[in-house]
């Protein structure tokens, strides 16, 4: 296809991504050197890109040294595993936001392991573009989660004897859907015409009923159990 008509939109999306990252400290760990060079080149001169690596050991050392707020990594690395790296990061520094690029969709066990570890966003390499990258960055930077729709079959695998401890109210389901979109309590309040404090109260109730450790985990559980339609996001 002729990509020329999309060039201007790509430039605008890239500019918005850079703006979203202006307060972040980012480490990139990708096995694809061409993609890593494109990422570094696109963010060259920006203070938020504090390190880049192509293997698991170097990526872990960078994170330990730089303590970034966000790590963008791929499942396949030159040495080691991106999913193994993600598991270590979430265990040692759970507050670090992680965005995982899936290059091999058939590795269901690894994808599920990333989800279980609390990965904040999953992108599929074959569907990667400035639009999807911007949506993912926006969602996770606002405290939400981002999951490529093509992974829903894996993500919503059957869970036996799992689900909310109590039924969710219609309002709680609305709040949960907006959390999955990366909306803050203030934004949720504006959307639903309630106060931010009321939205926060609903969030506390959701975490209790879902037995979620935080708002991102609540959104993950809601998506996994099919509590709301992904098309709402």
pTM over 0.75: yes
Say if domain 4-155 classifies as CATH 3.40.50.2300: yes
Pick the CATH number of 170-232 from 3.40.640.10, 2.120.10.30, 1.20.1300.10, 1.10.10.10: 1.10.10.10
The answer to whether 4-155 and 170-232 have equal CATH topology is: no
Average the pLDDT over each of 52-61, 124-133, 145-154 and give the range with the smallest value.
Answer: 145-154
How many Å apart are CA 98 and CA 84, to the nearest integer?
13
Average the pLDDT over each of 40-44, 93-97, 199-203 and give the range with the smallest value.
Answer: 40-44
Alpha helices (H) along the chain: 7-20, 33-42, 56-66, 82-92, 108-117, 130-141, 152-155, 170-180, 185-192, 196-210, 215-224
Average the pLDDT over each of 147-151, 186-190, 224-228 and give the range with the smallest value.
Answer: 147-151
Write the Ramachandran bin of 99: left for phi over 0, alpha for psi from -120 to 50, otherwise beta: beta
Can you tell me the mean pLDDT for 79-88?
96
Q: What is the mean pLDDT of the chain?
A: 85
Structure confidence at residue 230 (pLDDT): 62
Q: Where exactly are the structural domains of the chain?
A: 4-155, 170-232
């Amino acid at each position: 296809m002729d990509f020329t008509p999309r060039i201007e939109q790509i430039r605008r999306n890239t500019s918005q991504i850079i703006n979203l990252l202006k307060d972040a400290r980012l480490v990139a760990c990708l096995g694809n050197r061409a993609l890593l060079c494109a990422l570094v080149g696109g963010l060259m001169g920006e203070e938020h890109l504090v390190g880049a690596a192509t293997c698991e050991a170097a990526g872990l050392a960078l994170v330990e040294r730089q303590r970034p707020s966000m790590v963008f990594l791929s499942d396949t690395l030159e040495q080691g595993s991106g999913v193994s790296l993600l598991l270590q990061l979430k265990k040692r520094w759970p507050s670090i936001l992680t965005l995982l690029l899936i290059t091999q969709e058939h590795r269901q066990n690894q994808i599920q392991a990333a989800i279980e570890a609390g990965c904040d966003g999953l992108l599929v390499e074959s569907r990667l573009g400035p639009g999807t990258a911007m949506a993912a960055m926006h969602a996770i930077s606002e405290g939400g989660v981002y999951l490529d729709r093509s992974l829903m079959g894996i993500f919503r695998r059957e869970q036996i004897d799992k689900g909310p401890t109590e039924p969710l109210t219609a309002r709680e389901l609305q709040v949960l859907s907006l959390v999955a979109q990366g909306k803050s309590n203030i934004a949720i309040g504006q959307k639903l015409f309630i106060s931010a404090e009321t939205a926060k109260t609903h969030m506390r109730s959701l975490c209790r009923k879902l037995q979620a450790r935080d708002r991102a985990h609540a959104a993950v559980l809601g998506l996994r159990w099919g509590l709301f339609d992904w098309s709402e996001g």
